[in-house]
Amino acid sequence: MDLVGIGVLIMGIGVLIGAIFLARTLNNLSSVLNGVDKTVERLPDQLDDVMKETGQLLNNSNDTLADVNKKIEALSPLFYIVGDIGESSRKLTSSLVDVTMAMKKDTNEGKDTTRRQDLGGLYGAIALGYYFKEKRKALKEINNKDEISA
């Protein structure tokens, strides 16, 4: 055998090994594609099941939402009452804050007056009592106006 024959024999063995390797690879690819085929065949049934469950979930959600709406509708008057109470307490509190701030201002004015005029203990107490009396009258007038407007 000469060198050409040996070369052809080596090439033939190489092609045979390549063909065996390619056959095994294609066989593995074929089994993978068969698995994909089976999965794709089951896909429509699985999608039908998912769609049925999704429809049931939507129906249950609608029923739950309708139930919640009924319950909230029943509670709405309670929320209105709580809101009215909050608004009333806010008005009362703001009125009390206004009166307190006015009394604080007037008592500070009375204190400043007694210090400026150097009136002393008895005159200062009389002036302070007078301011409290006037503020009490003003407070009663404000409360009467609030009761009339309420």
Q: Give the pTM.
A: 0.37
124 has pLDDT over 80: no
Residue 146 in any domain: the answer is no
Establish if 12 belongs to a structural domain.
yes
Instruction: Locate all alpha helices (DSSP H) within the chain, ordered by sequence.
Output: 3-117, 121-149
| 149 domain-assigned | no
For 73-87, write each residue's pLDDT tens digit.
888 887 788 888 888
Asked if pLDDT for residue 30 goes beyond 90, the answer is: yes
Number of compact structural domains in the chain: 1
Residue 117 placed within a domain: no
Q: Is residue 132 part of a domain?
A: no
Q: Is residue 82 part of a domain?
A: yes
Residues 6+ apart with CB under 8 A from 143: 95
pLDDT of residue 114 exceeding 60: no
Q: Is residue 133 part of a domain?
A: no
> What is the domain range of residue 47?
8-108
In a domain, 113, yes or no: no
Residues 138-147, mean pLDDT to the nearest whole number? 77
Q: Are 99 and 141 in contact (CB under 8 A)?
A: no
